[in-house]
Amino acid sequence: MNLKKIKFGIIGGGVMGEVLIKSLRQELKISGQNILVMDLHTVRRNSLTRKYQVKNTKEYNDIINNSKIIFLAVKPQQFKQVASQLTKRLSKDRIIISIMAGITLAGIKKRLSHQQVVRTMPNMAAQIGSGITLWMADKSVKQSDRKIIKDVITSFGMEIEVDSDKKIDALTLVTGCGPAYLLHLSGILEDFTKQQGIKSIQAKKIVTEMMAGALVLYLQSNKDTKDLINNMSSKGGVTEAVFDILSKKNKSEKIWQNAFKNALKRTSIISKKYE
């Protein structure tokens, strides 16, 4: 398969549908004539066509008949409805790539009665080409097609191929939700900075610069995080005083483990509900 000649279909022209289109057009230089987007809203379809010169349709048949690779970019709760329109109508050679959170590879295959399925989980930063995408493909997907799929996914940023839904669900807590944890901590630090009489805009600058510096240090160092923290804290010093509270009887570690357990429980509820 030659990437430039593949016909892509995208079901769902929302936030992530647009990210897919943008990556295909701008990163992979796929012709707009080879991308067909389907969305319920005429205004949205036309706007994507104007912005990226892609084709659009409101008919499932157009996607089914004309696309070799079909992205499912609708919300998980919309999957059953979409699947009911695709099931038993997909020819064997079609490759379905889901970006829906929480819906397992087996769940997608079953609803679509189709084997060649790839489950991916991009994160928010895919919007700026700096994402991390977790993915796994059904064993029926050929090696040469996997290479194409990998090229497509790489256009959103870094890719990590895994071997189970369980790993996608667990790692999503790092790659998908991780930015929210960092923003949560940033908010706490920003509030504390403002409480010291620093203006809001400056407080944000202080926190973002600190975060950026710490991340570069983390990136460039071959030490693990515990060693880096130890390097920053001296015996009887103030950093140690903060961790005396946070890590007393492993409190913060236990809170995080409980939070992750709760999130995994939620993932399983979502997949049971929407598959």
**Residues at the interface with ligand NAP (CB under 6 A):** 11-17, 38-41, 44, 73-76, 78, 81-82, 99-101, 122-124
Residues 6+ apart with CB under 8 A from 60: 11, 38, 85, 86, 89
Residue 229 CB, shortest distance to ligand NAP, in Å, is 30
Nearer to ligand NAP, 40 or 269 (CB): 40
Nearer to ligand NAP, 82 or 149 (CB): 82
Q: Tell me the residue number closest to ligand NAP, measured at CB.
A: 14
Nearer to ligand NAP, 27 or 62 (CB): 62
Residue 206 CB, shortest distance to ligand NAP, in Å, is 28
Distance CA 24, CA 9 (A): 11
Residue 96 CB, shortest distance to ligand NAP, in Å, is 14
Q: Using alpha carbons only, what angle is made at residue 2 by residues 161 and 98, rounded to the nearest 5 degrees?
A: 40
Residue 207 CB, shortest distance to ligand NAP, in Å, is 23
Nearer to ligand NAP, 198 or 270 (CB): 270
Pair type for strands 8-11 and 55-57: unpaired
48 burial level (CB within 10 Å; 0-12, 13-18, 19+): buried
Distance CA 90, CA 106 (A): 17
SS3 56: strand
Pair type for strands 117-121 and 131-137: antiparallel
Nearer to ligand NAP, 98 or 193 (CB): 98
Residue 84 CB, shortest distance to ligand NAP, in Å, is 9
